[in-house]
Amino acid sequence: MQIDMHYYGVYALGLLAGLNQEAAEVIATASQYVDDSVGNDTLDHQSGAKLIPEATAHHTVDVRNLDRDHQRYIWIPFHFLPGNEGEELTERLVCRKNSDLAKKMVSHHLGFAERPFALELMGVTAHVYADTFAHFGFSGASSRRNKVINDEIELLDVTPATQAYWNQKSSNFFRKYGKSGGWWRNIKRSIFSAGAEMMSGALGHGAVLTFPDQPYLHWKYTYEAEFADRSQQTVERENQKSFLEGCRALHGMFVRLGQNNQRFRSGANGGDFDQVEGKIRDILAIEDGKKKRAQAWCELVRGDAAFGKLDIKQYQPAEGWTKDRNDFPALENPSDAAEFSVFRFYQASSLHRHYVLRELLPEYGLIVV
C-alpha cells in the first residue's frame, strides 16, 4: 500500500473507530513513517548521548535490498509478515492476507495500550497489518517463489483512465526501448526485468512493480516457478476487495485500541464500518493516483459526521518527526528526546521487530534470523 492508505486511510479509519484526532494523527504518521524511516545514521549529542534511528524500510534501489540479512530484518517484519502456510520454509515465509500470525501480532501489540509509545506502536501495527491485504502471495526474502512470468501479467477491466495512466508511466521507456512489440510488452520488459529483477532479485512484489499497492486494480499474473505446495500458479486479484477487507480490519483494531485505553477516545466521532463501506469502496476505486485518493479521504472525513467532520492534517514528516530527530544533537537536555513521537516510533519499531523475529515466528517454528 502507499501513502493514500497508510496515512490518509488509516487517519480516517481511526476517526471512524471513535479515536480522537490527536491519536488518529499519531497512528497515521507512524503508519506512513514505516515506509520513510530508511536511515540509521547515529546522531551524537555533546553530552555523550546518542540517538540511533530504527530503519524500517529501504528505498527500491538501495543496495542493502540485496543483503539477505537486511531483507530479514526489514522486509519480513515490516512489509511481508509471513503467513505460515505450506510445508517448505520458503512457502511459509510468503505473506498471507489477515493470517493467524497477523491477528496474533495485533492482539499482542494492543496489550501495550497504556505505554507511552502505544499510539506509535499502533501505527507500526497498522502498516504491517494493512500490508497483508496487499502483499499477500509474495515473500520478504529473496525467493524464486516471488518471480512471475513478465509476459503473462495482465490488467483486467482496463478503463480509459487506467490506460492513460500506464501510457504516461511508460513514455520514458518508449524513448529508451522503442515501441516494437507493443507498449505493454516494452514497459513490462524494461521495468520488470531491468528494474525489479536487477535491483532486488526476487524480493517482495518487485517482479509485479506496484500493482499490489493500487487499490483499484483488477489484474492477473502467473508465477514463473512451479511448486508442489503452491495452491495457484496463475492468480487473479481484485485489489479493491482486498483493500476493503483491510479497511474493515483496521477499523476493528482501532475500536479495540479505544476500548483498551479510554484516553484515546473522542466521543464526538465514530461509527460502524457498514454505514460508510460504500463511500470507502468509491475511494478505493479512484484511478487518478494516490494524491486524488488522499484528497478523497480528506473530503470524506470533512463531510461525514461519523468521522467528526474534521480536517485531516497533511503528512509533513520533514517539519515534525524528521526535524525532531535531526535536532537531537542541539537539545539542551538529550533526555527530552524520550518525549518525541519519533523516539517513541523507534521504541515501537524495535519492540515490533524483536517480537516478530524473536517471539512470534519462532513460536511457529520459523527461524529467519
311-350 pLDDT, tens digit each: 999 999 878 999 999 999 999 999 999 999 999 999 999 9
Same domain, 232 and 242: no
Same domain, 158 and 266: no
Q: 369 pLDDT exceeds 50?
A: yes
Residue 345 sits in the same domain as residue 196: no
Average pLDDT over all residues of the chain: 87
- The residue among 186, 204, 237 that closes a domain is 237
Q: Which domain holds residue 121?
A: 3-140+238-363
Single pTM value for the model: 0.89
Mean pLDDT for 194-209 is: 49
Residue 182 has pLDDT above 80, yes or no: no
What is the reported pLDDT for 224? 84
Above pLDDT 90, what percent of the chain?
70
What is the rounded CA–CA span in Å between residue 331 and residue 328? Answer: 5
Q: In the predicted model, is pLDDT for residue 309 greater than 90?
A: yes
- Please report the pLDDT score of residue 203 as a whole number: 55
- Average pLDDT of span 198-219: 70
> For residue 327, is it within any domain?
yes
369 domain-assigned: no
Q: Give pLDDT, residue 318.
A: 76
**Residues 49 and 110 both lie in one domain:** yes
